[in-house]
Structure 1
């Protein structure tokens, strides 16, 4: 078995409305609670980082599966949204919505169907999606276009 260990060091000053710093091998950011949730809004926050982890994992997995399938992609981009519900003061990360945009050299109906199948497979096989399964709903809305 091969295992990979990722490490992060975090420092935090003060209580709930304080701020901190996280440092990993290739990432350094200030952190705090976002303003939308009554915090100071310094740097990033756990909600953005969870969305970022889910979105980057999905996009990399999608790109890999498209390449392995031999589909000629001119450009692959994506927007992502994280929906957090607040009920009775309890914050719950409810849903992540991936919105990939795929620009193909040729976009026949067959190619579009293949891309849609691959988009679904990417969501099912992405490591972060699998880690969140059963806790956070993940949806995907793919936009496919052809180079003109």
Structure 2
């Protein structure tokens, strides 16, 4: 199977509220009011944590049949340490991103713990979001400047 190009288009809507769209699905992303937003959606960093938790949940579920594990219940809690002063440029010594991300997987199954442990290890290796965060990826950012004058 050939490589796929995944796409997302993010458009500024109002204030700090943006709309992210992929394959016709839309998500509102915003900042809390104390950060200048309108608190109408998750922040980008919360969305990143949610993407990791969602990806792990889906990957665990996809591989569970191959491991002969019947999952009765599955929940993934994800939390990260983040210093907003770094992202806002107020502390030049603080990172702009997470310094650590912790994942706690709650799984209910009758399968032996050793098999569940192997399933979780496989999911951590095969989850695309986890892989991207663990190993990094180059980002090639370009911009286009629209110099059209918009009259009211």
**TM-score over 0.5 for the alignment?**
yes
Deviation (angstroms), 1:13: 5.1
- Please, which of 39, 56, 68 is the counterpart of residue 66 of structure 2? 68
For CA contacts below 8 A with separation 6 or more, give which structure has more relative contact order: 1
Superposition RMSD in Å: 2.4
- Show structure 2 runs of 5+ residues with no match: 137-152
Which residue is 2:119 aligned to? 118
What SS does the corresponding residue of 1:6 show, helix, strand or coil?
coil
Which residue is 1:143 aligned to? none
What SS does the corresponding residue of 1:92 show, helix, strand or coil?
coil
* TM-superposition CA deviations, 1:77-114 (whole Å, max 9, x none): 2222232135526422122222222111x35xxx1122
* TM-superposition CA deviations, 1:13-63 (whole Å, max 9, x none): 57xx53222222253122233446x23133222112211221111111111
Which residue is 1:33 aligned to? 31
Distance in 2, Cα, partners of 1:63 & 1:22: 26
Q: 1:53-92 to 2 correspondence within 5 Å? A: 53-86=51-84, 88=91, 90=94, 91-92=96-97
Q: 1:102-113 to 2 correspondence within 5 Å? A: 102-104=107-109, 106-107=110-111, 111-113=112-114
Distance in 2, Cα, partners of 1:103 & 1:83: 28
What SS does the corresponding residue of 2:117 show, helix, strand or coil?
helix
Deviation (angstroms), 1:134: 4.3
Distance in 2, Cα, partners of 1:13 & 1:130: 31
After TM superposition, the score normalised by the length of structure 1 is 0.71
* TM-superposition CA deviations, 1:99-131 (whole Å, max 9, x none): 222111x35xxx112211221221122111111
Distance in 1, Cα, partners of 2:28 & 2:127: 27
More strand by share: 1
Q: Does 1:11 align with 2:11?
A: yes
Which residue is 1:141 aligned to? none
